[in-house]
Structure 1
């Protein structure tokens, strides 16, 4: 997934995180919805940009598509090749894709564009490689829209926004439609799929948010410890609540 890393996680840590995210309730359904929106048929070619450890590429290949994963991280590509032997993975970034003009039928990118300094440039590259009418699908979250129940909503808001400020493009997902239109894509649609989590699976996510906010100096260590303690108690008492909207945009290339 990682194009321009938003933090200092090593690739193996990021792979572990992505694996955990892939196992969350609703994650498989969201991936498969993104595949549906590509509107491809067996034999057509799709590239997954920022493929990470390659799960989506393998799933797309299982449907009869010629699926190719690209990622700029050597370790990501190495792991993807180990896990999904016989599947095509290549090292490349979103700005320089290893495909000739108008040779790809589908382009997919999941949880990547918020890491890009120049999303418009990446979309220009998508237009270049897509055949006329080829489909693009972008999936991602808006980092300002973690909805977390807490006894201290003011502190919670501060934590969410401070963590968002560590991301290169925290609001890129809400811009998907306009970015696609500006890049010349047609028939652009946008969907929002909201995951609602009330069990312990997402506790590490909110803990990570708080720790990230603490690293910025926006909140103190003492404030974070109290807030994390409250969230842990909520899990123990079955009172934890997190809602996370995921944005899924799709469109068609024009040239």
Structure 2
């Protein structure tokens, strides 16, 4: 996230984002995905690792429990305050992905989850990651492709319009498709990509679908009536236990030469 985006975020926005991150951290499969990222980082006892865009700090706490010297950075001061309040013994700092508070080669692991889609220059962030990583250090990037929400709905064309309209409001909605090549272009080795798909079939994710429809409507891609009809169907599917939402996530990992 760049500094202008951070400045535009209000305290209420941050509180809402924290609530959303807490929800995402606790959905089935989230803990396993985080654990897999730690394996790919090859955490060493007392090895320095940075979690970029750390949010409220869950991953930093888990990596510290595994013995790493974990540092969380986020450009949002309130986010860092919340993380520090939850885990006061850990190291949280205000910084963004383009200017990390580390010397060249100071860290052995770099992790960023659901961060690169809000960056306006992913290649610059990867370059900064390479700078702070020691030779042999590991980088792990986790994110979703915002064009690939898979939703069962009666009107497939309208659903495609909603998904694509929401994606177009994201700074870099398809950056995960580029992550492997970004790392290769920056000189990283042993680049791998894994996919995880989260599937939801009940009403718990209706608020996510409501947000998709609302943002598509506010962008002028669909009418209020279309949004209302589409969301009413999803509410009914959720009530019957017949909702279907699949979110593919991609985990890209590599080694700093």
TM range (shorter): over 0.9
Q: Which secondary structure state, in structure 2, belongs to the residue aligned with residue 191 of structure 1?
A: strand
- Counterpart CA distance in 2 for 1:43 and 1:122 is 25
- Counterpart CA distance in 1 for 2:222 and 2:73 is 37
Counterpart selection for 1:109 from 106, 109, 112: 112
Q: Which secondary structure state, in structure 1, belongs to the residue aligned with residue 136 of structure 2?
A: strand
Tell me, which stretches of 5 or more residues in structure 2 are unaligned? none
Q: Name the counterpart of 2:14.
A: 11
CA contact (8 A) 2:202 2:239 kept: no
Q: TM-score, length-normalised on structure 2?
A: 0.96
Counterpart selection for 2:99 from 96, 100, 104: 96
Worse-matched range after superposition: 172-181 or 153-162: 172-181
Counterpart selection for 2:217 from 206, 214, 217: 214
Counterpart selection for 1:55 from 53, 58, 63: 58
CA contact (8 A) 2:195 2:250 kept: yes
CA contact (8 A) 1:2 1:50 kept: no
Q: Name the counterpart of 1:82.
A: 85
Q: Per-residue displacement from partner, 1:40-74 (whole Å, max 9, x unpaired)? A: 22111100000010000000000010000000100
- Counterpart CA distance in 2 for 1:238 and 1:55 is 30
Q: Which secondary structure state, in structure 2, belongs to the residue aligned with residue 137 of structure 1?
A: strand
- Counterpart CA distance in 1 for 2:73 and 2:180 is 23
CA contact (8 A) 2:2 2:120 kept: no
Q: TM-score, length-normalised on structure 1?
A: 0.96
Counting only pairs closer than 5 Å after superposition, residues 132-211 of structure 1 correspond to structure 2 as: 132-211=135-214
Q: Name the counterpart of 1:28.
A: 31
Q: Which secondary structure state, in structure 1, belongs to the residue aligned with residue 88 of structure 2?
A: coil
CA contact (8 A) 1:2 1:112 kept: no
Q: Name the counterpart of 1:230.
A: 233
Q: Per-residue displacement from partner, 1:89-117 (whole Å, max 9, x unpaired)? A: 00000000000001100000000000000
- Counterpart CA distance in 1 for 2:183 and 2:43 is 19
CA contact (8 A) 1:197 1:241 kept: yes
- Counterpart CA distance in 1 for 2:78 and 2:151 is 34
- Counterpart CA distance in 2 for 1:132 and 1:78 is 32
CA contact (8 A) 1:2 1:73 kept: no
